[in-house]
Amino acid sequence: MTEEDLYPSYARLLAAAQEHGNCRFWLLDMRQRAWHSAAFAAWFSGLLAQQVVRELGAPVFVAYVASEEHRATIESISTAATLRKAAKSELYPHFFNNEKDAAEWLCYYQTHSEWKSRLQST
């Protein structure tokens, strides 16, 4: 899948979330994908984050399962800036190396009303 293929994929994901009661908790597996460019990151944290929150409501939590080979990129300064920008729109992406931890993180924020204070302290 090319990066250009991801834009309509995210549109379909948003449509599926709307069909399921405006689901605001997403689990995405990135282990088999090449990492994205700076242009994609800007689109994700800017336009997509704003659109998703506008259409689904806030906050939106996205758990990404990524491979170990993506760790350096995930821990980079540019990724940190992308995450801060997305959080301003109340879209909270977080990265994991396994589905179990990702699912537990999503479940936590689905079931705990004090989520905002925990997010603001990280």
- Give the residue carrying structure tokens 């994700």: 44
Provide the pLDDT for residue 70. 75
Residues 86-119: tens digit of each pLDDT = 788 898 988 899 999 999 999 999 998 666 545 5
Question: Are the C-beta atoms of residues 24 and 17 closer than 8 Å to each other?
Answer: yes
Share of the chain above pLDDT 90, in %: 34
Residues 43-95: tens digit of each pLDDT = 666 667 888 899 999 999 999 898 888 777 777 766 777 778 778 889 898 88
CA distance linking residue 81 with residue 6, whole number of Å: 21
pLDDT above 60: residue 1? no
Closest CA to 10 of 70, 96, 93, 121: 93
Helices (H), ranges, 63-98 = 71-74, 77-88
Q: How confident is the model at residue 40 (pLDDT cuts 50, 70, 90)?
A: low
Mean pLDDT of 14-35: 88
Q: Out of 3.30.70, 3.40.50, 3.30.519, 3.90.320, which CATH number does the structure's domain 3-120 have?
A: 3.40.50
Provide the pLDDT for residue 117. 47
* Residue 65 in tokens: 């399962």
